[in-house]
Each structure stands twice: as structure tokens, then as C-alpha cells.
Amino acid sequence: MFKFNFPSENQDETDTISDDLNSSGKTSLQEIDGQEIEISNDHFQKIKKYRESCSSTSLVRGFHLVDLKYVEELVTSQKSGEFESLKTAIKMNSDVISGVYEGGLKIWECTLDLLDYLNKESVQFDGLDVLDLGCGAGLLGMHALRKGAHSVHFQDYNTEVLSLCTIPNVILNNNPDVKSKTNFFAGDWGSLHHKLKSYDIILTSETIYNPENYRKLIQIFEEMVKKNGVIYVAAKHFYFGVGGNVYEFEKLLRQNERWNTSICFCSTEGVKREILKIVQSADQNHQRAKYDLSASQFSPDGRVFQVEYAQKAVENSGTAVALRGKDGVVFAVEKLVTSKLYETGANRRIFNIDTHIGMVKS
């Protein structure tokens, strides 16, 4: 029997998102028009029933969550035409059916990774505007509310997830005035730009499994994050089957040179999972600053930027960037960025191979 699952201590950490494509064989999300789902009086009237539906198995990281057995029973008992996306997921015994149901009723491991990270690092939310993107049960947004966020917007692909799970969870864990601090949006990312606002922090988990949707996600970042805002993306390092992975997503982010990225968490056991921290480049015109070669240590012959000299230059200034010249690959250094050449993941910061050929002298 299909179940919308909470994580457990014995959960197999090898979930993959692989074969559940739509009937056309395409993996990108269908363009479902964005819409706002309001907290209704009916939600508040049912709060007693929501509380009764909770059990010890639905207490996750200190949050009371609606018992998903109750959600499943409610879905399957409804007449034809209601909750069809969730009924399809139940019928197919699937956590994700791309373009139909995007896994919002499962608590994924990466969500807990990000929740734990936010707690451990005491990330501040007081007075800030926050977006929980691909929210599912809403754990990340509820954490922001608990930490004093000024407002939290919750977005999920499926209307049913928001109505049956997210909104009840938010009510269960907050004061009655929560309605004035929250908004809920359903639909495809590409249809939500005119409904969402600007945010100080964007939190998202398990949303980069499908490379077909990367540009839509990045467009949300570009249009919705405030000038000094921060984005946290929690994800598995690689998604078998559909091929999404942190490296390719980070690579695409860097193409327009607007973003600085860093890996702020990496799992040490089980399936490799990471948290990507994204901020806007200090150059608000989105143009990479010229390299200050006076800060660089060239090799003795003045021609080739050897690795050992690149390392010294990085220690003195910034990021090593690979350049291709007629004598082979050389290096330049950008003073404005402070990552180190041999840090974990620093190989990802060797980019723009052909962009700055004019800087190479030989």
C-alpha cells in the first residue's frame, strides 16, 4: 500500500527520482498557472481534527505535522474529480510523477539537512521576508516563522499539498495571527513571477533533481531575491535516473557571473548530500571586475602561472581562474573573491576557460 512517508531512523537513504515521467516522456514541469491558496475559515474550524490526527510518529524536529495516514484516507475517500494528482501518485505507488505530483507529501532527507543546518548555524530570520520554495510539508518556512520572520511565503507545485498538508501544519505550529504573516502559492515556477515578491532568504530542498527545470528555478532567484539576500539549496549530490546534480546546477548559476556560491554542508555518510549557499556577486552590474595582476605571483620566467604560484596568489588575494593560452592552461587571480584553491569543491571554481584569453601573455 502506498504511503506518504515521514523519514524514520531506519529509512533507506538511497531514494532516487528516476522513472516517473509524464506520458509524453518529457521531464520538465507542465505550465500549471500560479494561484494563491488562502487559509480559509474551514481550515481553522478543523484545527481540532488536525490536532487529533497527529501522533508521536508525526513529530519531526519539534514540529507537529498532520498524520499523513489521515491525508491518504481523505484523498482516497473523495469523489472523482477531487485530489486527482494525489490519487494518481497513490495508484502508481510513486513519490514523484513529474508534471503531476512533485513529492510534496514526503519529508525528504535534504529538508532535514537544511533544517538542522539553519539551527546549528543560528541563521537569523528575525524581521525578514522568507520564501519556502517547493515547500511540501512546510518545515523550512515554519522554522523561519518560529525564528521571528516578518513574513513567509510557501510555494508548492500541487494545490492539494498546500490545502491538505502545508496549511494545516502551519496552523498546528503557530498562533492564530499566522494568517497575517503567511501566503501560499501553487503552480509551476514559470507562472509565479507576477505573484511572488522579493525575499531576504529563499529556502529550497530537493528541487534540482530535474535539469530541465534549472532555468526556471534560477529565474525565480534572479527576480525574487533581494540585493543582499541569501539562497540555500539542499540537494543530493547526484540524482540517478534523471541526472540532476549540484555541480551542473552550480555551473549554470555561474554562467552569467551574477552569483557567488559555496558548499556550506556535505553529508559524511549515506548518499552524498549537500547544501549550496548562494549570494549575489558584489558587483551589482553583474560584470566581473578586472583582474588585478599586480597582486599575482607569476612564475620566475614571467610567462606561465604554475600551480604552486597560483596557490600563493590565491592565499594573497582570491580565486584561481583557469585561462587557455597558446602555451596551455595558465591561471589568473580575482582579488574580490576569497575562496582558496585547494578548499573542498574548489575545482568547481575553475571556470570561464575561454573568456579571458586576452589576459594571457607569453
- In this prediction, residues 40-48 reach a mean pLDDT of 77
Could you tell me which of 212, 261, 204, 211 has the C-alpha nearest to residue 235?
204
Read off the pLDDT band of 52 (50, 70, 90).
low
Instruction: Look at residue 44 in the predicted model and tell me its pLDDT.
Output: 78
How would residue 122 be classed by pLDDT, with cut points 50, 70 and 90?
Answer: very high
Q: What are the structural domains of the chain? A: 1-286 (3.40.50.150), 293-359 (no CATH)
The helix (H) or strand (E) run that includes residue 76 is helix 68-77
Between 116-130, 261-275, 299-313, the lowest mean confidence (pLDDT) is in 299-313
Go through the chain and tell me how many residues it has. Answer: 362
pLDDT of residue 253: 92
Torsion of CA 64, 68, 70, 71, to 10 degrees: 110
| Of 27 and 262, the one with more pLDDT | 262
- Rounded distance, CA 306 to CA 24, Å? 51
pLDDT for res 237: 94
Q: Is the pLDDT at 326 greater than 70, yes or no? A: no
Identify the residue with better confidence: 200 or 305. Answer: 200
- In the chain, the N- to C-terminal Cα span, in Å, equals 68
Higher pLDDT, 194 or 231: 231
Look at residues 141, 230, 137, 124 and name the one whose alpha carbon lies nearest to residue 178.
141
Its pTM stands at 0.70
- Tell me what the mean pLDDT of segment 80-91 comes to: 65
pLDDT at 107: 85
Residue 143 has pLDDT above 80, yes or no: yes
The string of DSSP codes covering 111-139 is: HHHHHHHHHHTT---TT-EEEEET-TT-H
Extract the C-alpha cell encoding 149.
Answer: 520572520
User: Residue 183: which residues within 8 A CB-CB, separation 6 or more?
Assistant: 36, 151, 153, 154
Q: pLDDT confidence of 43, banded at 50, 70, 90?
A: confident
Is the pLDDT confidence value at 351 over 70? no
Q: Which residues, including other chains, have CB under 8 Å from residue 119's CB and lie 6 or more apart?
A: 143
Considering only residues 360 and 266, tell me which one the structure prediction assigns the higher pLDDT: 266
pLDDT exceeds 50 at position 242: yes
Element (H, E) at 48: helix 47-53
Q: Tell me the three state secondary structure of residue 312.
A: helix
Task: Provide, rounded to the nearest whole percent, the portion of the chain with pLDDT above 70.
Answer: 59
Confidence at 289, pLDDT banded by 50, 70, 90: very low
pLDDT band, very low/low/confident/very high, at 160 (cuts 50, 70, 90): confident
Query: How would residue 174 be classed by pLDDT, with cut points 50, 70 and 90?
Result: confident
To the nearest whole number, what is the mean pLDDT of the chain?
73
pLDDT at 131 over 90: yes
Residue 256: HSE in the Cβ half-sphere, 13 Å Cα cutoff = 13
Residue of 201, 203, 189 whose CA lies nearest to 275: 203
Residue with cell 549570494: 279
Evaluate if residue 212 carries a pLDDT over 80: yes
pLDDT attached to residue 347? 40
CA separation for the pair 167, 152 (Å, rounded): 12
Give the mean model confidence (pLDDT) for residues 333-337: 39
Please check the confidence at residue 155 and state whether its pLDDT lies above 90.
Answer: yes
Average pLDDT over residues 116-123: 97
**Closest among 237, 229, 279, 234 to 254, alpha carbons compared:** 279
Helix H or strand E segment including 279: strand 273-280
pLDDT band at 102 (very low <50, low <70, confident <90, very high): low
Of 69, 35, 44, 65, nearest to 159 by C-alpha is 35
Indicate the residue type of 91. Answer: K
Q: What is the mean predicted confidence (pLDDT) over 32-55?
A: 75
Count CB-CB contacts under 10 A for residue 36: 14
Average pLDDT, integer, range 104-122: 91
Judge residue 344's burial from the number of C-beta atoms within 10 Å of its C-beta, 0-12 exposed, 13-18 middle, 19 or more buried: exposed
| Environment class of 117 (CB within 10 Å of its CB; exposed 0-12, middle 13-18, buried 19+) | middle
| Mean pLDDT, residues 137-143 taken together | 96
Lowest-confidence pick of 87-96, 226-235, 282-291: 282-291
Q: Is residue 192 over pLDDT 90?
A: no
Residue 31 has pLDDT above 80, yes or no: no
